[in-house]
Structure 1
Amino acid sequence: MSLVVTTPSDREIVLARSFDAPRRLVFAAFTRPELLTRWYGARGWHLVTCEIDLRVGGAYRFVSERMARAGGAGSEGAALGTVRVSEKTARGGAFDSQATALGGERMARGGVFDSVGAGGERMAQSGVYREVEPDARLVLTEVFDDQSYPGETLITHEFVERAGRTDLTSTVRYATPEGRDRVLRYPMARGVGEGFDRLDQLLMEGIPDELDS
């Protein structure tokens, strides 16, 4: 199923997509750094930092970058170097590891996503979890380091399972109508759609048993 984008109010963008996988796996892909680094972002972009404290009031941070092509600019074949993944959960457990990422793998660091593009481009976003309902619902805030619109964005992800498939609905609510309109002028839908295509591929390939928990 392709991504469906709607605008039910002057401050909202709603993104809907169905995945051929149970919702526990889709939820895990949104909350486990080891999985997020394998799909998050538009084609050519990779998480180099992914830190998540998955609890109400816990913070996250993502940093992404577009890797340079082997022998040129902008390829997924370039080596990414050392990856740091950090995760904290409401259960009080912690996971912290480093590994070398090559090819199309992504890097993650902490509760933040940090992205960097070809030619030194970098994109970083962070926020706080407002609601965490395992396998069913996530509500979180979002602010980009170099944000071109005012205020804090509120994102609600809802995971509904039907006959082994998961319907994902993501509602993005901006602080102002002007901020929402500015985002609509960006290639946001394309980027989200490409990321969800990568997630779909990850789910088809299968998630290791040790991450399915």
Structure 2
Amino acid sequence: MTSTTTSPISSSVAGKVLVLERVFGAPRELVFDAFTQAEHLRQWWGPRGWDVPFCTVDLRPGGRWHYCMKCVDKNQGEFYGMESWGLGIYREIEAPGRLVYTDYFSDAEGRINESLPSTLSTLTFEEVEGGTRVITRAAYESEEALKTVMDMGMLQGVTETWDRLAEYLEARRNAACGAG
């Protein structure tokens, strides 16, 4: 059943821009909300084996999305117990069709880590038959900055994160169908 409601992620690199695309089997409004509301993000954000013990969202231009991912999977060896903090600063919000923010590595206080690359993320949410296509254009300051995050395993992390989103949306859909 899941194969009818989701698709694999596709990715391409053009210079210093990474483009990711995937179809999720859920209405556009719900998918947009899943990317912009803390109560949703806590349920799926991050790769497998990572939880989100902290997440705040101030969804407005200039507002901040501050979060912590923590590795809770002992099988991930040296990553177990590690925390990874992030900070998004919103630039544009056109609910439910478009979201633009700059994504930074940060610390628990929300101070930006200048030694790691930032990302200008532009997400579009398109209604398609059976769901919503999400397209992310992740622009970096240089090809080297993009290579740095790719070498950190970013593509695998995003793939796992979006798999978790697909599972979360499917579970919500099934719960809603069961409730009716």
Per the shorter chain, which TM-score range? Answer: 0.7 to 0.9
TM-score (norm 1): 0.70
Asked if the contact 1:66–1:74 (Cα under 8 Å) also holds between the matched residues in 2, the reply is no
| Corresponding residue of 1:18 | 23
Which residue does 1:49 correspond to in 2? 54
Distance of 2:131 and 2:114 partners within structure 1: 35
Distance 1:202 1:44 in 2: 15
Shift of 1:74: 4.4
Aligned to 2:96: 135
Corresponding letter in the other structure for 2:32: F
Moved over 4 A (4+): none
- SS state at 1:206 partner: helix
Question: Could you report, residue by residue, the CA deviation over 1:6-39 in whole angstroms, capped at 9, with x for unpaired residues?
Answer: 012x211111111111111100110111111111
Consecutive unaligned residues in structure 1, runs of 5 or more:
76-116
Aligned-residue sequence identity (percent) comes to 35
2:131 pairs with 1:165:
yes
Structure 1 residue 149 corresponds to structure 2 residue 120: no
Cross-structure match for 2:87: 126
Unmatched tracts of structure 2, length 5 or more: 1-6, 107-112
Aligned to 2:37: 32
- C-alpha deviations, 1:110-159, integer Å up to 9, x for none? xxxxxxx51x4110110210001111000001110256534x32101100
Mapping 1:52-201, distance limit 5 Å: 52-68=57-73, 73-74=74-75, 117-118=79-80, 120-145=81-106, 149-150=116-117, 152-201=118-167
Q: In the alignment, is residue 7 of structure 1 matched against residue 36 of structure 2?
A: no
Higher helix share: 2
**Alpha-carbon separation, structure 1, partners of 2:114 and 2:152:** 13
TM-score (normalised: structure 2): 0.82
